[in-house]
Structure 1
Amino acid sequence: MIRCEKLKLPLSSPGAFYNTCFVTSQTPSCAQCLLRKALRSCHGRKRAVRGQQRFPPSSRHHVYDSRGCVVTAAGRRRLGPPRSARHRQQRDLISTVKMELDIQCEEMSPSRWAELLTTMKSCKSIRLDDCNLSSSNCEDLSSIINTNPSLTELKLNNNELGDAGVEYLCKGLLTPSCSLQKLWLQNCNLTSASCETLRSVLSAQPTLTELHVGDNKLGTAGVKVLCQGIMNPSCKLQKLQLEYCELTADIVEALNAALQSKPTLKELSLSNNTLGDTAVKQLCRGLVEASCNLELLHLENCGITSDSCMEISAVLRNKSSLMDLSVGDNKIGDSGLALLCQGMMHPSCKIQKLWLWDCDLTSASCKDLSRLISTKETLTEISLIDNNLRDSGMEMLCQALKDPKSKLQELWVRECGLTTACCKAVSSAVSTNKHLKVLHIGENKLGDAGVELLCEGLMHPNCNIQSLWLGNCDLTAGCCATLATVMATKQCLTELDLSYNPLDDEGIRKICEALRKPGCNVQQLILYDILWSSEVDDELRALEESKPEVKIIS
């Protein structure tokens, strides 16, 4: 990372503030833009995010992590803009060929908007996240929705549309020619007043299958109105995202009624609403009803404790449709985790993704987790970020990964109190488990010695790791030669994150040398908050020119 030419500051300077903002746009190019967009995106509201610079707090709402990347707990990440403008032009050309318009973080001038309106008339998918749009733009978009029958996806997150803007959009959505299937209106300054209009759309537009309205002040009263629309026989909604909507326990009765009357509804996200144990217990009683077919349930930061884990366990045991459960940022503790594992170990449970970040777990939970990993063949992803597992707990997990019945593909253990001492066990696990493809082990004190041990496992023919995150692991240039060997040899490795490690010029040059080799298949190299000289920066630019398929994010 070089310094911002405008402010002569590292690009991450305002990050402590900016990282708390829930934005889905790309990373701006200078510190001044970062701060400006942070102020605009958060609308003056405080977010209930704990440790925002350390881990992705939710799988479905987005947040900038400590590197400035937009992160989801499932590991998918919207990277910042490529260093080269040529890369951006190539990307835009590809999007045009696919009839997709994907623009983020751009101020819309009248001439630019007029130009885009012409393009939008033939697009199948439109994304205009964080483009400073207002209700006046929505009148034009309503016309596009009405006249473009090919349009099936519309994303307008992080724009000040307001209730008036949504009213314009809904006029287009209610026309017979509308074919829209997916609508994103996250963080658009909506209130409960928008819910009546959206209810009309839900009741009358059977093509709409996804509605994302999180991070808006809809309130319990507003979402109750939405539920009325969902219960209409014409509604075919499959996904409903209601994170950060200021919901309370009173919403559960309406949600249960909607879930039981609408078997098409497969995904429900209620994260970051103050529900509490009593409401979650009531919700679980509705989820076990035969008419409910929910496959995904997100309850992150909902005030859950071990007190409601018995009811959640019953859902896991009795609802084979449920495959994705996220209860991160709740004080479940070891006792609550034990109850959840009882439900997941039941033969009828088909859980695939389990997110338990920041749940006050300790190494005591790892015995139950190890049994789950080694015997539950449906389980493919688990996040244990920001739990105090320590080396002893990690060693138990690694032993489970070596079991032939383990089918785990993604393991997130960032900031779990790990040290060099567990790296031999991790190395053995990655050399044994052919299914493991994603390992996020950053923000642990592994050190050069630990990564050297890890690389031994990565070099094994059985290892199929594709994405490796080693950010903030106390690494230096001393381990870069070994990492470079892995990069140049293991063609399965396509993503490597070394952010927040003092690699300096020497280490970066070793990594770049590996990127130049024909055997290297790394496509994304993440180097946030690493300082290097202008000479090395020139080398990075030259490398990007020679290998345009490689994105170096810094």
Structure 2
Amino acid sequence: MAAAKLAADQSLQSLALEGEELGRKGAQRLSRALLTHGALRELDVACGNIGDAGMAYLAGAIQRSATLEAVNLRNNSIGGSGCAALAEALLGAQSGYGRLTELNLSHNPLGDEGILAIAKVLGQGGAALRDLDLSSARSAAEHAWEQFGIALSGCRLASLKLRQNPAIGDVAAEAFAQSLAKPDCSLSEIDLSFCGLRSGCARLIGAGHSLQQLRLFGNVAGPEAAEAFGLAAGAGAQLQDLDLSRCHLGGSAGAAMAAALRCSAAADVSLQELHLDRNALGAQGVVALAEALGAGCQLRALTLRENRCEDTGAGAIAEALGHNRSLKELDLADNEADGGAGGPTFYDMRYGVSS
């Protein structure tokens, strides 16, 4: 069916086959059709169960394609050998036609072999890749991710998604941070949510001249992460979107984050979005944070869900909003603030946000 679609329309530029269960044979037929098609730019074969054998067939077609720019291979049972075949194809394409800029390999059992294969590609310039997703790659050894981090220094990636990879710990984070600090590193967006980071969170926040978005949701960052952001902001960091939700910040992080926001507001490039959901900031932590939300604050979006801020914290936020002209989005859901005893209601919160 997929091959027939390509054969029937030689001008087709986008082909979506998610959930089609291509299998090995379907991938083989599709690869043959791709070899004779001169217009396709986007290919989505997510959830196609192509496996390593099917990936080997498609790898050859990807290497020879002069038009493919985006390929989605999410959840296809691709293991180490299939990923290695794709990596060799990308290296071959680097000296030939290769135009592939966006690659999604998430939710595949790539293992250490697959991660090291992709690291080899990145270490040799990364072909034309700009957007790479390796979330939930099921790699067990942090050494593989450390090598991957080292390889980032010389590639042209702009966006990297590595969610749900618990083997990425502080050792790997150090390698990532060192690569981010290199002047030729172009990474602007990294998602490391639900990995195995602890002190590595603070290290990553303080690294990278080009980093604009950093998502660390679900790691054990601790209050040191807030302090690291303050230091980074004072040193001229370009960070504009920071997600530290469910990072075990605790109540003491409120004051540290407030100080960081003041540093950011005074910098040339200031933080635009801050996500601090589910961090047990408590009323005192939210009150401390609110002190930085008045005049001069540059934040456009702030989320504080499930932080037990109660009416005291909500009241401090409401008061700060009276002087704030930048905030467009505020989320205070599930904070045990009901407006009792004269406290602010969520209507007051919405009314206070600039529109």
TM-score by length of 1: 0.51
The reply to whether residue 455 of structure 1 matches residue 256 of structure 2 is no
Superimposed CA distance per residue, residues 23-82 of structure 1 (whole angstroms, 9 cap, x where no aligned partner): xxxxxxxxxxxxxxxxxxxxxxxxxxxxxxxxxxxxxxxxxxxxxxxxxxxxxxxxxxxx
- Residue number in structure 1 paired with 2:136: 272
Return the letter of the residue paired with 2:214.
I
1:353, CA displacement in angstroms?
3.7
Return the letter of the residue paired with 1:405.
G
- Residue number in structure 1 paired with 2:140: 303
Which of the numbers 151, 159, 165 marks the counterpart of 1:315?
151
Return the letter of the residue paired with 1:263.
A
Which of the numbers 212, 237, 256 marks the counterpart of 2:100?
237
1:446, CA displacement in angstroms?
1.3
Given the superposition, is the C-alpha separation of residues 148 and 479 from structure 1 closer, same or farther in structure 2, using an over 3 Å criterion? farther
Which of the numbers 326, 332, 338 marks the counterpart of 1:492?
326
1:439, CA displacement in angstroms?
0.9
What are the ranges of 5 or more consecutive residues in structure 2 without an aligned counterpart? none
Which of the numbers 400, 412, 415 marks the counterpart of 2:246?
415
- Residue number in structure 2 paired with 1:72: none
Return the letter of the residue paired with 2:285.
G
Given the superposition, is the C-alpha separation of residues 431 and 221 from structure 1 closer, same or farther in structure 2, using an over 3 Å criterion? closer
Work out the number of aligned pairs and report it. 344
Distance 1:418 1:261 in 2: 37
Distance 1:191 1:508 in 2: 58
The 8 Å contact of residues 157 and 187 in structure 2, kept in 1 or not, is answered as: yes
**RMSD between superposed Cα atoms in Å:** 4.2
The 8 Å contact of residues 488 and 520 in structure 1, kept in 2 or not, is answered as: no
1:216, CA displacement in angstroms?
1.0
Distance 1:401 1:464 in 2: 16
Which of the numbers 207, 217, 234 marks the counterpart of 2:67?
207
- Residue number in structure 1 paired with 2:305: 471
Which of the numbers 382, 388, 392 marks the counterpart of 2:214?
382
The 8 Å contact of residues 52 and 81 in structure 2, kept in 1 or not, is answered as: yes
The reply to whether residue 520 of structure 1 matches residue 315 of structure 2 is no
Distance 2:324 2:291 in 1: 12
Distance 1:199 1:450 in 2: 52
1:209, CA displacement in angstroms?
1.0
Return the letter of the residue paired with 1:443.
R
Given the superposition, is the C-alpha separation of residues 217 and 446 from structure 1 closer, same or farther in structure 2, using an over 3 Å criterion? same
The reply to whether residue 437 of structure 1 matches residue 272 of structure 2 is yes
Distance 1:213 1:187 in 2: 8
Distance 2:168 2:53 in 1: 36
Given the superposition, is the C-alpha separation of residues 251 and 432 from structure 1 closer, same or farther in structure 2, using an over 3 Å criterion? closer
Return the letter of the residue paired with 2:236.
K
Superimposed CA distance per residue, residues 373-401 of structure 1 (whole angstroms, 9 cap, x where no aligned partner): 5xx4323233343343433x145324314
1:438, CA displacement in angstroms?
1.5
- Residue number in structure 1 paired with 2:345: 510
Distance 1:162 1:466 in 2: 44
1:245, CA displacement in angstroms?
2.5
Given the superposition, is the C-alpha separation of residues 485 and 170 from structure 1 closer, same or farther in structure 2, using an over 3 Å criterion? farther
Distance 1:415 1:440 in 2: 9
Q: Classify the secondary structure of the residue corresponding to 1:448.
A: helix
Return the letter of the residue paired with 1:209.
E
Which of the numbers 168, 188, 197 marks the counterpart of 1:352?
188
Q: Classify the secondary structure of the residue corresponding to 1:396.
A: helix
The 8 Å contact of residues 281 and 307 in structure 2, kept in 1 or not, is answered as: yes
The 8 Å contact of residues 119 and 147 in structure 2, kept in 1 or not, is answered as: no
Return the letter of the residue paired with 2:151.
V
Matches within 5 A, 1:79-228: 142=5, 146-147=8-9, 149=11, 152-157=13-18, 159-163=19-23, 176=37, 179-192=39-52, 194-195=54-55, 198-199=58-59, 201-202=61-62, 205-224=65-84, 226=86
Q: Which moved more, 1:205-214 or 1:493-502?
A: 493-502
1:160, CA displacement in angstroms?
4.3
- Residue number in structure 2 paired with 1:5: none
Distance 1:262 1:311 in 2: 14
Distance 1:385 1:335 in 2: 18
Distance 2:86 2:199 in 1: 43
Superimposed CA distance per residue, residues 285-333 of structure 1 (whole angstroms, 9 cap, x where no aligned partner): xxxxxxxxxxxxxxxxx2242x46764564355x264555566634455
Given the superposition, is the C-alpha separation of residues 464 and 166 from structure 1 closer, same or farther in structure 2, using an over 3 Å criterion? farther
Superimposed CA distance per residue, residues 490-529 of structure 1 (whole angstroms, 9 cap, x where no aligned partner): 4532333334434458799933355457x733xxxxxxxx
The 8 Å contact of residues 133 and 162 in structure 2, kept in 1 or not, is answered as: no
Given the superposition, is the C-alpha separation of residues 146 and 510 from structure 1 closer, same or farther in structure 2, using an over 3 Å criterion? farther
- % same residue: 23
TM-score by length of 2: 0.74
Superimposed CA distance per residue, residues 185-221 of structure 1 (whole angstroms, 9 cap, x where no aligned partner): 2223433454366346425542211111021113344
1:148, CA displacement in angstroms?
8.4
The 8 Å contact of residues 355 and 384 in structure 1, kept in 2 or not, is answered as: yes
The 8 Å contact of residues 295 and 323 in structure 2, kept in 1 or not, is answered as: no
Superimposed CA distance per residue, residues 449-474 of structure 1 (whole angstroms, 9 cap, x where no aligned partner): 3223222211231x211221212212
Superimposed CA distance per residue, residues 217-273 of structure 1 (whole angstroms, 9 cap, x where no aligned partner): 133444455456553644432232222323344557865786659833444444433
- Residue number in structure 2 paired with 1:405: 236
Q: Classify the secondary structure of the residue corresponding to 1:439.
A: strand
- Residue number in structure 2 paired with 1:283: none
The 8 Å contact of residues 455 and 486 in structure 1, kept in 2 or not, is answered as: yes
Given the superposition, is the C-alpha separation of residues 200 and 488 from structure 1 closer, same or farther in structure 2, using an over 3 Å criterion? farther
Distance 2:125 2:156 in 1: 16
The 8 Å contact of residues 488 and 515 in structure 1, kept in 2 or not, is answered as: no
- Residue number in structure 2 paired with 1:279: none
Given the superposition, is the C-alpha separation of residues 248 and 442 from structure 1 closer, same or farther in structure 2, using an over 3 Å criterion? closer
What are the ranges of 5 or more consecutive residues in structure 1 without an aligned counterpart? 1-134, 275-301, 522-554
